[in-house]
Structure 1
Amino acid sequence: MATRRIIATEKTILDRDDTVEEKSNISPAVPNDVIFKLVAFTLAMIVIPIGSYFVTVATIFKGTRFYFLAFCYEGGSI
């Protein structure tokens, strides 16, 4: 069974002594290098696949999308 607190001896918020206010911590919760890595990998996940599509269509497959799509289909099924 739970015990009851004795409310008469407990100090209220107004009765408590004022403590010395510490300087508030305004540093970011996440370091800057972590934010930089997240942004870099996000951009890489967008730019690299789209860029590789256009580079391979223009150079390897010489403008024919049929061979490229067949290549991607086979590569995805492995």
Structure 2
Amino acid sequence: MPKIVSHCIVSSSDQTNETSSGQHPLLVYYCLCSEFILVIDMALERLPRRQTDRAFIVDNTKRTYKLTAEQGTATILQR
């Protein structure tokens, strides 16, 4: 069963400025238990959100990221 992350901690030396080579720095997100969760090239607050549940949308064609999560079985919930 996949872990549910309700809080995250950002670890980055400088989140607002670009690096000297003109690339955006990578942001690292950890879960409260200090386990590595996500590395992404843009702050989560700047990503678009889904209207139904306000979840972050990470587009594979526009973002560079690495997600550490295991695929679990799907569960259908009725609203």
TM-score normalised per structure 1: 0.20
Question: As a proportion of its length, which structure holds more helix?
Answer: 1
TM-score w.r.t. length of structure 2: 0.19
The answer to which structure, 1 or 2, has the higher relative contact order (CA under 8 A, 6+ apart) is 2
Structure with max Cα Rg: 1
